[in-house]
Structure 1
């Protein structure tokens, strides 16, 4: 193995950033903060540099578009801070399914440079990408890379390791990790979670993400047996479920006995748990979220949220009308995987109403301009606090009736009248 060169100052690594460089940065805790700080400071002298990143959690001045084409941000999933910048035209957004991001980058990059945060090296000089394998891990060995070692990052197991000598250069910067607080929980969330939890069998492999309902579902499965985890974001609630003993992964078709994910995101206790945990395994996103890989697990149960469902079952999960809130993420990836899994189920969860009960989330047709995140043929079960609408294999009339039945009672008559006008009933 080549000897490891000494650490450099973050600004020294900018020599690898030339005109028209596409700098590829991992998700929340994979961002090399010191390197991006230096890149932003050097923006007046840059030429056509783009930073590609999913779910950026650190707001920066250049996100406003103040540097024009000298330095511009390209997002693959809008965080809360990125939404206003996107609406103001300061950042760009690439529509995508999460598993496809590596290939989308390959198709469009000009002069790619991977810039990653990593755990401290082991005694052999190897580092891991810590809490964010995602698309960066898929590109290791293919794209030139600079590494920022963050002593706060845990060393995790998986297909996301590399040797310091594999990098063009490396630096060390101590950065506090992004933590996500537990979401507030309502009685409606509990009612929805109970309906989902009762449908999950022993031996199921779970995709449970971040949010109130998925977290509650995980908390309700402690008495189950032989569960497995194959997800895209592993959070605090899944850690708790694993620690309860309900998860052992024995029935998984691959990575048997391991909880697999591509991102770990939550609180400090989760990050301590992840550090050198032999039962946790991070995969590149083009493996973790590949529907063909997901479908190999029998009884794959996927839980995702949406904001609006029409009477055909189309789900708008990433925009309110033309107002973008996020992006597709891995929702369709796991819905396709569950659809192809033997015994698989996908649950779309939503409150039946919004805005204090004045607006129905079950609607005759989606709000004009709304992005269809999950088309009708993918949607299996829609769950509200009023029940579960099972849509797979049902006619338009049956789907419509099932969705009206799980809408808030206040809106059911209006939905029925609209369905008749649309010719669904």
Structure 2
């Protein structure tokens, strides 16, 4: 780093102008020090549009005094942005995760400034995007100006993550611990049961995609007797480490990236960040590649595990909103549900607790008014709760409704039976 010039965060963000569109590197790579420096300029800036997917770290995007200065146009909603996205000072773009890079590359959403976080440059001048390549690769490639937080605690990952210092217009050296999430700590007995049910469907030689949260972590804990598993997923966390170390995950049966685990971003604990550091067995790739159904389908027995907020009796899956309230986003669910359905021996899986923490059924006669359908009833296959598993593929409306009622919480089955009768049986009597 001897030949690299560093500036302060306040100096670096001076390039941002009113009316700019600013990309924010996401997940564990969220460049908090750059965002704080940008926000300190709120009195000087107006109508700066912020775009990102999931952000992490101690950043407040919903401060009242920032309202005139920043507008958050989210491509996936996370806890840090949920409030502002559902206000007058934010919005949400419904989009398959695999296609977000097209927004940048085709100038539908041209990026003026990209705020990123990278590892220190190597002797050849290459930094690494570390934990998050996802949509950042396209943003950096197309941005007019790139500002980087250089963090020695950012792991150096292999794949599509390398960025030469010549591409970076301003570099800020700032050492900071990456945000950590331990999904094992958030598990409940219900999630443990769902994880067990899902694991029973996973075959030896399967290629796994795991969504975010405790349920995927519980699935991994139940795969200790499996063989020759592979990983091709948009995201992974700590639960994968023991399976790789034991040889259960060896990627030997994959047809694409044989012998390597493929992901697009990494979120977990420091143990995970250290594990992926300079690890050639893990490739962190552009999301337009990882989530491409034509790539996913090439791996045998692609098993895609995703979650939902609610599902109606015909199989329509809402995963991104609670009625009109935008809770998360489309993300990569449909990319992998469709890709797995085309894979030889593939299993697309939607997993959800049978009811909410307040006792409301997640299997419902009708989705809430305003709810978004992420996975259509034409795409849905396996649905799993703590009460069992059903495969809706090829089933009629009545058949799938009866099947879903069987895996609903017992407290709600009578209500769902009445809804079934009102919708189907009563019609036949007229």
TM-score bracket relative to the smaller structure: over 0.9
Is 1:255 the counterpart of 2:254? The answer is: no
- Larger mean CA deviation between 57-66 and 166-175 belongs to 57-66
SS at match of 1:30: coil
Is 1:323 the counterpart of 2:322? The answer is: no
* Aligned equivalent of 1:243: 245
Deviation at 1:4, TM superposition (A): 5.1
User: Structure 1 residues 424, 81: closer, same or farther in 2, change over 3 A?
Assistant: farther
SS at match of 1:196: helix
SS at match of 1:399: helix
Deviation at 1:305, TM superposition (A): 1.1
Deviation at 1:33, TM superposition (A): 2.3
Q: TM-score, normalised by structure 2?
A: 0.93
Q: What is the count of residue pairs matched by the alignment?
A: 422
Matches within 5 A, 1:273-312: 273-312=275-314
SS at match of 1:359: coil
* Aligned equivalent of 1:422: 423
User: Structure 1 residues 52, 22: closer, same or farther in 2, change over 3 A?
Assistant: same
In the TM superposition, what whole-angstrom CA distance separates every residue of 1:159-184 from its partner, at most 9, and x where no partner exists? 11011122222221112201012242
Q: State the distance in 1 between where 2:331 and 2:365 align.
A: 25
Matches within 5 A, 1:113-124: 113-124=113-124
Q: State the distance in 1 between where 2:138 and 2:222 align.
A: 34
Matches within 5 A, 1:73-88: 73-88=72-87
Deviation at 1:350, TM superposition (A): 1.2
SS at match of 2:138: helix
Asked whether the equivalents of residues 314 and 375 of structure 1 are also in contact (C-alpha less than 8 Å), the reply is yes
Q: State the distance in 2 between where 1:289 and 1:219 align.
A: 25
SS at match of 2:158: coil
User: Structure 1 residues 251, 111: closer, same or farther in 2, change over 3 A?
Assistant: closer
Asked whether the equivalents of residues 179 and 265 of structure 1 are also in contact (C-alpha less than 8 Å), the reply is yes
Deviation at 1:69, TM superposition (A): 4.5
RMSD: 2.0
Deviation at 1:419, TM superposition (A): 1.3
* Aligned equivalent of 1:54: 53
* Aligned equivalent of 2:154: 153
- Larger mean CA deviation between 292-301 and 29-38 belongs to 29-38
* Aligned equivalent of 2:370: 369
Q: Which runs of 5+ in 1 are unaligned?
A: none
SS at match of 2:175: coil
Asked whether the equivalents of residues 63 and 91 of structure 1 are also in contact (C-alpha less than 8 Å), the reply is no
In the TM superposition, what whole-angstrom CA distance separates every residue of 1:112-150 from its partner, at most 9, and x where no partner exists? 222210011112111110101011113443333222211
Deviation at 1:87, TM superposition (A): 3.0
User: Structure 1 residues 424, 274: closer, same or farther in 2, change over 3 A?
Assistant: farther
* Aligned equivalent of 1:194: 196
Q: State the distance in 1 between where 2:252 and 2:136 align.
A: 29
- Larger mean CA deviation between 114-123 and 5-14 belongs to 5-14
- Larger mean CA deviation between 164-173 and 266-275 belongs to 164-173
Q: State the distance in 1 between where 2:250 and 2:378 align.
A: 32
Asked whether the equivalents of residues 127 and 161 of structure 1 are also in contact (C-alpha less than 8 Å), the reply is yes
Specify which of 219, 222, 233 is matched with residue 220 of structure 1. Answer: 222
Is 1:264 the counterpart of 2:263? The answer is: no
Asked whether the equivalents of residues 147 and 164 of structure 1 are also in contact (C-alpha less than 8 Å), the reply is no
Q: State the distance in 2 between where 1:413 and 1:111 align.
A: 52
* Aligned equivalent of 1:100: 99
Q: TM-score, normalised by structure 1?
A: 0.94
In the TM superposition, what whole-angstrom CA distance separates every residue of 1:317-353 from its partner, at most 9, and x where no partner exists? 1222222221121111111111111111111111112
Q: State the distance in 1 between where 2:425 and 2:21 align.
A: 48
* Aligned equivalent of 1:345: 347
Deviation at 1:229, TM superposition (A): 0.2
SS at match of 2:159: coil
Asked whether the equivalents of residues 222 and 241 of structure 1 are also in contact (C-alpha less than 8 Å), the reply is yes
Q: State the distance in 1 between where 2:33 and 2:90 align.
A: 21
In the TM superposition, what whole-angstrom CA distance separates every residue of 1:352-381 from its partner, at most 9, and x where no partner exists? 12245x322111111212221211111111
